[in-house]
Amino acid sequence: MNDYAKQFIDFQKSTFETTFNTIAQIQDQTESLTSDMMGQMHWVPEESKKALDDSVKMFKNAREDYKKMVNDGFVKMEELFIR
């Protein structure tokens, strides 16, 4: 039973990691494109640009917090099922 549980958890971790990294890359590329575009829009107020930058930082922090919670969940699953 432990071997099956370990394989299942490892598969789930791998799937999560791959999916998470792909989504993170898409978000980072979108951020880069948006930042470049905002840099070319001289008529946009600096307050708006700062608000966008603050939002991006908040999203990145939330994304990393989410990843940490999921990884902590995998550790707990391993503790429960693999002994």
Cα 22 from Cα 57, distance rounded (Å): 19
Mean per-residue pLDDT over the chain, rounded: 92
Taking residues 42-48, what's their average pLDDT?
A: 90
pLDDT value for 1: 55
pLDDT tens for residues 4-22? 888 999 999 999 999 999 9
pLDDT value for 32: 94
Cα 33 from Cα 39, distance rounded (Å): 10
Task: Judge if pTM exceeds 0.85.
Answer: no
**Angle 64-9-79 from CA coordinates, rounded to 5°:** 85
